[in-house]
Structure formats: C-alpha cells, structure tokens
Amino acid sequence: MNGVMRNKAPARRERALFTFRLILGAQVAFAALNAQAGEKPQSKSVAAAFGNTVVSTYPDGRTQRIWLKEDGSFRGLSRRGNPIAGAWTLKGEQVCLKQSRPVPLPISYCTDFPASGGLGSEWTSKDLRGTPIRLSLQKGVELPN
C-alpha cells in the first residue's frame, strides 16, 4: 500500500505544478489585457476625427455617420438611421471598428485612414460585404433630432 501512495505523490506534484503554471499564465494574460485596455488608441491622422464626423457614402447615396471618441469608443448612425456604438482600435494605419450596439458583431471592420487625415479628407474603401464606399471627414458632430 505504501508503494501505491508513492506513485500518487508525483502525480499530485505534477497536477499542482500544472495548476500553478495555469494560474500564473492566466494572471500574466489578464495583466496584459488590462494594460492594453488602459491604453488609448492614438494616431495623429485619427485624432482629426475627434469632434468631427466620418461619413461613409454608399453607391445608392445613403450615408452612415460615425463619431470616434478619444477613449476608444464610437457611436454613429447606420444607413437606415439606427443608432450604433462600439469600440475602435488602431492596427497600423487602419482604424478597426467592433460594433457592440444594437447587436454585437463577432468581427471587426478595418479600413485605412489617410495619413493626412485632416478635415475634408476623402478616401475609398469597401464595407463588410465588399460594397465600395466613399469616406470623408466632415467638420463637427451633427446629431439627429
């Protein structure tokens, strides 16, 4: 019987070591996520959008309006005039939007943001479905009535 207990002791140590490594790994990952969450996305070109409106114009003439905030959040109006909201991040010179409202989307939409990025800037891109759109940065924030 004593021999059986000796065999369980190494297994217990291995489980304890595995658990310790798992907890340590989780803590490191959690700390990294917290550090990222505390960082505000920054880019000189994107900064021009704060307090202004990014307008996406579709081939049918309808528009979508997005307002980026310095804290990494955004709000806007869809082409149908419905409110949308979420978070934005930078990946290189691309701005990536992840919608959380009205329905959270499991993917992010990323588009180039012009390096000059000043008011009046215009550029082309494609929406999530691949539809060509024209984007522009317009002065001010015009909220619907």
pLDDT band at 15 (very low <50, low <70, confident <90, very high): low
Closest CA to 111 of 127, 122, 98, 99: 127
Gap between the Cα atoms of 48 and 46, Å rounded: 5
Residue with tokens 């070591």: 17
Helix (H) or strand (E) holding 5: helix 2-38
Residue with the larger pLDDT of the pair 115 and 92: 92
Q: Tell me the three state secondary structure of residue 125.
A: strand
pTM of the model: 0.68
Gap between the Cα atoms of 65 and 141, Å rounded: 9
Gap between the Cα atoms of 116 and 32, Å rounded: 32
Residue 113 has pLDDT above 90, yes or no: no
84 strand-pairing partners? 76
Residue 106 has pLDDT above 60, yes or no: yes
Gap between the Cα atoms of 90 and 95, Å rounded: 5
pLDDT band at 140 (very low <50, low <70, confident <90, very high): very high
When pLDDT is averaged across residues 96-103 and rounded to a whole number, the result is 95
In sequence order, what DSSP letters do the residues of 35-100 get, joined into one string?
HHHHSPP--HHHHTTTTSEEEEE-TTS-EEEEEE-TTSEEEEE-TTS-EEEEEEEEETTEEEEEEE
**Amino acid sitting at position 116:** S
CATH of the domain spanning 44-138: 2.40.128
Residue 33 has pLDDT above 70, yes or no: no
35-85 pLDDT, tens per residue? Answer: 344 444 456 678 889 999 999 999 999 999 999 999 999 999 999 999 999
